[in-house]
Amino acid sequence: MFTKILDFEVFNKDKSALMNYADNFEKVNIISGNPEVLFNGLHNPILKENFNDKNSIIIPDGVGTVLASKLLKNPVKEKIAGIDVVREVLIKANLERRSIYLLGAKEEVLNKCVDNIKTEFPNLIISGFHNGFFDLNNCDEIVDDINKSDPWAIFVAMGSPRQEIFIEKIIKSSNIHIFMGVGGVFDILAGELKRAPKWMISLGLEWLYRVIKEPFRIKRLIAIPKFLLLVLRHKKK
């Protein structure tokens, strides 16, 4: 069910199996394991411990992680994109009338995201939301608001490693069922950014589409070859 990549166990079945597996947890932290996030986990002791916690599931969200699993001769069944998992959680929350909390993005993007979710998933409850512009070391009011609203799931869209650090800050003290750092997903849900065409997604080229739309991301692609080289070096040991 898992492929060991560097110091981490990465889920290697399909999305349906992931959702079924996550149901077994009282509390679960779903981590979008692209090379950038895994690099951050390697070099931050707090995140490394969190990523390897018994309540964490790392998903292969990135072409670099998929390629790494192939290099290790234990390939994941498919890339599992964070946005797709978010939608599965929203569908489940809507069917079961569960509550969610949204944390991150700019205020205007967040408001559009909230409105669109309410329109598409009218039966779920948005118990609270807050933009992502605050001091991680001075955010007790936000943590209190989250705990008081007692959501079933929380999505944190603040980029890595900030979102993972925040989740680590609250995960032990809250009763939330699903925690998930979601990067730029709020931009997509808000309609500010479109996903790649299905043919590009099926060919594993969603990263190329995002670079075309957001050229600043090209710098982040450097993480992929560095990550793969590190995997190869680790494999030879």
Residues 6 or more apart whose Cβ sits within 8 Å of residue 100: 89, 90, 93, 117, 124, 125, 126, 127, 151, 152, 153, 154, 155
Tokens encoding 234: 């680790």
pLDDT tens digit sequence for 126-178: 999 999 999 999 999 999 999 999 999 999 999 999 999 999 999 999 999 99
219 pLDDT band, cuts 50/70/90, is low
Domain count, the chain: 1
Q: What domain range includes position 133?
A: 2-236
